[in-house]
Structures are given as C-alpha cells and as structure tokens.
Amino acid sequence: MDATSRPHRIPPAMGVYAEKHKVFQMMQNMTEALLIYRPKDPIEFMIEHLMKDNDEVPAVLVLGPPAAGKTTIARWLCKHLSATYLSPQQLLRNKLLRQSREALARQQLQGSVPDELWAGLLEERLADVDCVKLGWVLDGFPETRAQARLLQALGVAPRHVVVLEAPEMVLVERNLGKRVDPLTQEVYHTTFDWPIDFTVQKRLVKPEGTSVQDTAKRLLESHRNIPGLLRTYPDNHKVISADQPCADVFAQALSFVQSRFRSEAPFLPRVLLLGPPGSGKSLQAALLAQKYGLVPVSFVDLLREEVVGRTSLGELIRPSFESGYPVGDTVALRVLGNRLSQLDCATRGWVLHGFPRDVDQAELLRRAGLEPNRVFFLHLPTEVTTQRLCQRATDPISGERYHTIFKPPANEEILQRLRRNPHDAPPRVEKKADAYGRQVADLEDFYEEALFVNADQDPYTVFEHLESCLVTPLPVTRPGTRSLAGGASHL
C-alpha cells in the first residue's frame, strides 16, 4: 500500500481473513512471548510457539484463604474445560519431576519447601505435553507476592486469576468439617458435601492443619498475602464471594475464565442486528453509531433510496415494492454490497439490520466477504411486538411519533390528528413476525457465535448489553469443552 495516501482502502476480505485467523492477536502473543523468554534464536522460537497452538488454552490460578473452596472450583474448572489440574501437593508426589525428590526431602526435614524449588517444580510440570496442549488450572499457588514474582520471572503468566473470599467464621466452620479421601484426594465436608457411598465414608480422614488454632493462623497469613497477590495480577484477576452455593461460585468463575480481555490488536466492528419487528434494531443501530462512529445501515432504507433515486437497481426493485413481494437475493446483495464496500464502512465499521432474512441470504453475505464479526439476536415475544407497533402513530404536522401506552399525546387536539402507518396494522405486523419466526431457528444455527439479548426491557439496558459484547472479545470456546448456556451466550 502507498504509505503517503490516507486513508488506506483495505478490501473487506482482508479484515475478515485477519480476524478469522486471529492474525493480529497471533503477532501480539508472539511479541509478548519473545519479550518474556528472550530466546537466542527468535525465529526458531516463534516457529515452536506457533506449532504449540496453545494461545487460547486455559492458564488459571485459583487462590484464596483456607476452606474457601479452591480445590472444588479448580477441579470443576478442569473437568469443564478439559484442562490439567495442578496443586503443590500433586507436584510433590509426581516422581517424574526431577526436583520432586529434593522438594519432598526438604519438606520432611525443614517443614517447608523453598520458593525457588516450588517454582522449578511448576516450570518443569508446565512443560509437559498435557499442560501445553490442554492448559492448566493451578490450585492454591502462589501463596505470597514473592512466589508470584518468581513465577513471572520464569515466564509463568496466568491468563485468569480467580480469588475466592468469605467471612472468617464461615471459613473456620468449613475447615473444621473438611474430610479427604486418601485414595482419590477428593475433598468432602461433614455438613455440605458428605459422600453417599458408605465405603468412601469409612476411609475419609481429617486433614492436618484444620484445628481452630491452625485455621486461624493460616487465615491470618492469607489475609496478609492476598493484597500483594492482587497487586501482582492487577488486570486479570476476579474476586468472587465463596459464601454462596458452590454452583453459583463455579458459574461466576467459569464465566470469567472463558472471557477474554481487551486486546490492542486492530478491530473493525461489523455488527449485525437480527430480531422481529419492533425489537428496536433501528434504535440500537443508531445508539451504536452515535457512540462508536459506526455507519448505520438499514437494508430497507437502502432499497428505498435506490427506488427514489431512479437508479438502474431502483428500477429492478420498484416492482417488488409495488407488489409487496421481497426483492430478489441477487439484486439485494448488489445493493448491500455497494454500500458496505464504500470508504466510510471500510474504515469505520458498520451496524446492519434488515438483512439477511433467511439462511440463503446469510450464505450469500458470507460468500461476498461481508461477514459480520458480531451478531445479536434481539428476542421479543409476539404479543409485545404487536403492542409496540400497532399502537404507535405520527403527528402529520410536527412529525413527532407517539404511542398510546408509552408516549401518549399531550392533548386531545394532537390525539385527533394522529395517523397510523398502514404497515402497522395488526394483520401485517403478525405476518412479518410469523415470517421472522419461521426463519430465526435456522439463522441461529448458521451464526453459531451469535449472542442473544432480551429486547423486552429498557432500550438503554439493551444497549449496555450490546456495548459490553462489542468492546470485549467473545468468550473462548474450544473443541471438547462444555458450555453452561448450550453454546451461545444469553444476555
């Protein structure tokens, strides 16, 4: 490209390709890895880094005071994400690690393991193929800021840090009732999580360090160290209250771990809003355009402009407008392609509504290289659609729009001169809603990464949901993992 010309005319297909294959993020990840490890041969290092293909695998720390539920949450995360579970005790018992024997001897003789030895054990374990390919969740380490800084110096950088917290009385009560299965190392509780199997009940043992005095001492140490750990991971930690049902704690932890933080990589929004009539697509498009400088593109307005302008395409569209039948897909795509390929859309991004109406049109849009990178389905019950559209009217003198429920006219004079659009007649509205309802299931299957928003609420609340998913990368979904929401995100 000519560096002296501004702005650059970059074909839309380039941006689609770069985002699909995460080119910008890949370059950023490699640059970060180069600066952390400082290899002697950067080219060879980058080749090995790309071959690992693990930029999206979990790298999670689960921290918190004793009895906060770290082990339970960490194991559940591992099962859900198909990741490798790690803990200090597991590192000590792993005889395949070169330093495990030395660490175990130090613990037996001195009662503790030096931080450098802990870090060495972890570094060695993280180099194993299961941690590299599947990712890992580390339970209860590091415990101090010094240990965390030591891990950073070795290049061990978690992507997410889950920090559990709970009142001291709750933690003491939990710790006193803790029991461990010596065979499986599963943790149980005499009150909250007692095993059904009588054989398991008989072999449970009370772990060391769970007395009131020991628990109080460990809680004091934890309270001293947690602030330092939070300062070490200032931008990628989330504090979660553990004083609630375990399933709720896990749901919050999983949502956080599957999220991705904002990247400095270039991102050009191409937003598609789908929903039944009256779901607020035009309003949300205008709000997004106003705040983020996107180009609002209404497909219906584009068709009207072609007809009014008496263009060659407009003459092809006019018969469909007069008969009430949909415009042919080929003509529709030409109109839309001409608009989305213009300079403002190519440089600022766009927010589209009114197209596609079915999977065939969505496929045409994808083949044309005009695929959106954010798709939102605005869900609205049919009865609410009818209420919103069939009771609205316009003042022909002022042009002001009113609604008999949400925005009634101020006086009788205005009420008498209000006029309703024939398109808002109940039979027409119901027909449009039915047509959308017949296609929406197939469109939802087509756009697998779409997000679903409840449009039956305040429009600015809906906008906040759209905005949060626009400025933040979509949650990580990897093959083999399970989703609580059935694949797509619901808001």
Condensed to tens digits (0 to 9), the pLDDT of residues 115-146 reads 999 999 999 999 899 999 999 999 999 999 99
Percent of the chain with pLDDT over 70: 92
The pTM is what?
A: 0.63
pLDDT for the residue 3: 45
Helix 145-153, helix 212-232: angle, nearest 10: 40
H or E element: which one contains 379? Answer: strand 374-379
Of the two residues 85 and 412, the one the predictor is more confident about is 85
DSSP designation for 99: T
Give me the sign of the Cα torsion angle 121, 123, 129, 130: positive
Which domains, ranges and CATH numbers included, belong to the chain? 7-44 (no CATH), 56-258 (3.40.50.300), 270-472 (3.40.50.300)
Cis upstream peptide for 142 (omega within 30°): yes
Percent of the chain with pLDDT over 90: 34
The CA dihedral of 90, 91, 93, 97, to the nearest 10 degrees, is 140
At 203-214, the pLDDT tens digits run: 888 887 777 788
Q: Where are the alpha helices (DSSP H) in 83-193?
A: 88-93, 100-110, 115-126, 129-134, 145-153, 168-176
> Is residue 230 scored above 50 in pLDDT?
yes
CB 19 within 8 A of CB 35: no
